[in-house]
Amino acid sequence: MKKDFLWGGALAAHQFEGGWNADGKGPSVIDVMTAGAHGVPREITETIEKDKFYPNQEAIDFYHRYKEDVALFAEMGLKCLRTSIAWTRIFPNGDEATPNEAGLQFYDDLFDELLTHGIEPVITLSHFEMPLHLAKEYGGFRNRKVIDFFAKFAETCFMRYKDKVKYWMTFNEINNQMDTNNPIFLWTNSGVLVKEGERPKEVMYQVAHNELVASAKAVIIGKKINPDFQIGCMVSHVPIYPYSCNPKDIMAAEEAMHQRFFFADIHVRGVYPNYALKEFEREGYQLEIQEEDLQILKQGTVDYIGFSYYMSTVVKADKEQDNLGDVVNGGLSNSVDNPYIETSDWGWAIDPEGLRYALNRLYDRYQLPLFIVENGFGAIDVLEENHQIHDQNRIDYLSKHIESFMKAVDYDGVELMGYTPWGIIDLVSFTTGEMKKRYGMIYVDRDNEGKGSMKRYKKDSFDWYQQVIESNGESV
């Protein structure tokens, strides 16, 4: 691997910071989401209800312990840390005229701490953290005013951290919302709930348009502030395989992949893909797309593609439709199990080879540098009496994925900027709100009900990853 390869770890403010109302922070869309479990959806409540448990509000309390945690990241040898800036620390309601200085200062302190330890911050502007006020009062990204609120938030961050942060991403996994069968995706991506009588896909495409314009605006603004910024998009990439060589399965997979590629196609090329325009026409979707928006999309294209890779899936053309709303299958009605691969306890397919395939497909399509900004194994860990955690299953998962991307780089010639495995320290699961679905190489003593000492312990994977980084991948 090249010498400056960015080995790191990935996190998101709402899943690990806690301090949800500290120092002037406002509530975000995630602060009204209760805990669920595998197969039990998280509830989105109208307001914050006293007798309900909202696991993200305290999370793992990084907000008050960041120095201790950053020291551990440094000990692991991380070259970069991907995290997000909680929008509501900076603009508590989203529509204020001036930002919250205490929130800005927190990230100044955090970035300084990282830089002092030689860790480069890689920053997502919005990782499911829209101000609740914007969702409630403005309808989230249904409303074009939110485009400008986001642009202002982006500009504020770019200006403030222009000398501390070089790598940025606009919206995390912006393409989750393509699955309109599960309400958490439109809610967390865009602050939107579909109303009765509305056509979910039509709502989604309108919201997506506004959000893509907001992203492009941010890119344009950022480049003016510091032309050296590298600003990327962030998509969830789940390769969708055809079940067989039956041409019908091949075409079913191709159509499903269009849905996956839609967002990155616009982020990268700055124009709507024809398959989408045809869909709008076929379905009679009435979308407000202004001429000026199309210019902005064209100008605000991204420098690189950040993506998450956890699993692949499979579609079968003649499958009876029954997977709607299923997180694991991305809501694809015709997805089926892959007989060649195993799954995690949460049903996520474990497919290291699929990462090399993903890298090749993305690189062939876009010819832009790629950055694996999430990948990991959510599993139950056992804290032994001596505070050891033997997470060999995680080491196996990660080793195989690293081998796979190294092959994509060394053999296929894919341009890869870095690798930041997800949840480098245990945090709250996004889809389930659980703590027991752990990804970290650092264990946090906290359970699903929010009980525990919050103490941090190194897992076996901690030393293993330290070696991987030190040897630039050779020790895998």
List own/partner pairs for 357-364 with CB under 8 A and 24 or more apart: 357/239, 357/312, 358/237, 358/239, 358/307, 358/309, 358/312, 359/405, 359/408, 359/412, 359/414, 359/416, 360/408, 360/412, 360/414, 361/239, 362/237, 362/264, 362/305, 362/307, 363/412, 363/414, 363/415
> How many residues comprise the chain?
476
Nearer to ligand BG6, 125 or 409 (CB): 125
334 lines the binding site for ligand BG6 (CB under 6 A):
no
Nearer to ligand BG6, 310 or 363 (CB): 310
- Integer CA distances (angstroms), 446 to 152, 226, 452, in order: 36, 41, 4
- Is 96 designated active site? no
Q: Which DSSP letter does residue 27 get?
A: P
Are 54 and 16 contacting, i.e. CB atoms less than 8 angstroms apart? no
Listed ranges 28-36, 72-80, 140-148, 425-433: which one lies at the site for ligand BG6 (CB under 6 A)? 425-433
Nearer to ligand BG6, 53 or 148 (CB): 53
- Shortest distance, position 83 Cβ to ligand BG6, whole Å: 11
Q: How far is CA 360 from the centre of its chain?
A: 20
Sheet with strand 313-315: strands edge to edge: 240-242, 313-315, 335-336
16 lines the binding site for ligand BG6 (CB under 6 A):
no
- Binding residues for ligand BG6 restricted to 234-253, rule: CB under 6 A: 236
Gap between the Cα atoms of 383 and 457, Å rounded: 9
- Binding residues for ligand BG6 restricted to 286-325, rule: CB under 6 A: 308
Nearer to ligand BG6, 143 or 189 (CB): 189
429 lines the binding site for ligand BG6 (CB under 6 A):
yes
What residue is closest to ligand BG6 based on CB? Answer: 431
**Dihedral angle sign, alpha carbons of residues 345, 13, 235, 146:** positive
Residues in contact with ligand BG6, total (CB under 6 A)?
14
- Binding residues for ligand BG6 restricted to 146-165, rule: CB under 6 A: none
Helix (H/G/I), strand (E/B), else coil: 61: coil
Gap between the Cα atoms of 143 and 131, Å rounded: 14
For 253-360, strand residue ranges (E) read 304-308, 313-315, 335-336
Using CB under 6 A, pick the residue from 20, 272, 430, 465 that binds ligand BG6.
Answer: 430
Listed ranges 74-82, 85-93, 274-282, 429-437: which one lies at the site for ligand BG6 (CB under 6 A)? 429-437
431 lines the binding site for ligand BG6 (CB under 6 A):
yes
> Given 113, 129, 173, 374, which residue is catalytic?
374
Listed ranges 66-74, 158-166, 212-220, 431-439: which one lies at the site for ligand BG6 (CB under 6 A)? 431-439
Nearer to ligand BG6, 143 or 420 (CB): 420
By rule CB under 6 A, what string of x and - marks binding of each residue 377-396 to ligand BG6?
Answer: -x------------------
Residue carrying structure tokens 């990462």: 355
CA gyration radius, the chain:
21
Nearer to ligand BG6, 100 or 312 (CB): 312
SS (H, E, C) 274-305: HHHHHHHHHHCCCCCCCHHHHHHHHHCCCCEE
82 lines the binding site for ligand BG6 (CB under 6 A):
no
- Binding residues for ligand BG6 restricted to 164-223, rule: CB under 6 A: 172-173
Nearer to ligand BG6, 152 or 260 (CB): 260
Name the site residues for ligand BG6 (rule: CB under 6 A). Answer: 12, 15, 172-173, 236, 308, 374, 378, 422, 429-432, 437
- Active-site residue set: 374
